[in-house]
Amino acid sequence: MATPTRLRFAPLEPSKTPSVEAPKLQGIVFDVDGTLCEPQTWMFARMRAVLGIAKSVDILDHVYSLAIEKQSAAMESIRNVEKEAMLKMIPQKGLMPLMEYLDKRGIKKAICTRNFETPVNYLISNFMKGQVFSPIITREFRPPKPDPAGILHISKSWGLEDGGERLIMVGDSVDDITAGRRAGSATVLLANDVNRGLVDHENTDCVVENLEDLIPILENGFTEIDRTASNPKTEP
């Protein structure tokens, strides 16, 4: 049985008239690692090895659980891994075509990442010169994803009063799509060989394998899973 869907955002192509009324998309929030740049899964394994924690333990939760006097050293150890990964960054396929398209259509762009500021700035200055992301939410903002606080902060900074309702969160991890869903945003999973299990996740609205694939989706109107159809109201 096909999953029911509904039109979430109106087509960005002005000449297209949707069959049902839908609001205009106001902005897109992007993750960084595995989304704007290709995934470097070794990085997270290295961080956990440095910290001496199991794969099941959240890296940032572990650092913040340490005694205050130990947190700085732990954070610096994972920054060193991130700096090494930064120099090996490869831009995601379809990156610039999508960025240029969003600029053409006047769609705001923001970043919400669990990374720290230096690799984010490196990515923008080396692979996306001239591109503006505002605001940029990094590790210093707490609580991090999967909490929706970062996305809600972005929405508020854009003057939106309905939380993340008029935004899309694009990412490659369960933290990304969970944060997006909790914020009330539509979600896009950038699928790869590692995260295939998230394709059918309850919080995933749309799946692409190349960022450029989002362009026709936005042009024709973004559809999402119709969760009201799967949970119909019972008549009294």
Q: Which pTM value belongs to this model?
A: 0.90
Give residue 23's identity as a one-letter amino acid code.
P
Retrieve residue 171's tokens: 């990412």
Q: Model confidence over 3-28: pLDDT tens digits? A: 788 999 999 999 998 888 999 999 99
Residue 234 has pLDDT above 80, yes or no: no
Active-site position among 31, 172, 176, 205: 31
pLDDT digits (tens, 9 = 90+) for 166-206: 999 999 999 999 999 999 999 999 999 999 999 999 999 99
Backbone angles phi, psi at 176, to 5 degrees: -65, -50
The upper half-sphere exposure of residue 28, i.e. CA atoms within 13 Å in the direction of its Cβ, equals 25
Check pLDDT > 70 for residue 236: no
pLDDT digits (tens, 9 = 90+) for 57-107: 999 999 999 999 999 999 999 999 999 999 999 999 999 999 999 999 999
Is 200 catalytic? The answer is no
* Cβ atoms within 10 Å of 214's Cβ, excluding its own: 22
Is 33 part of the annotated catalytic residue set? yes
Say which amino acid occupies 150.
Answer: G
Cα gap 133→156, rounded to integer Å: 15
Inform me whether the pLDDT recorded for 147 exceeds 60: yes
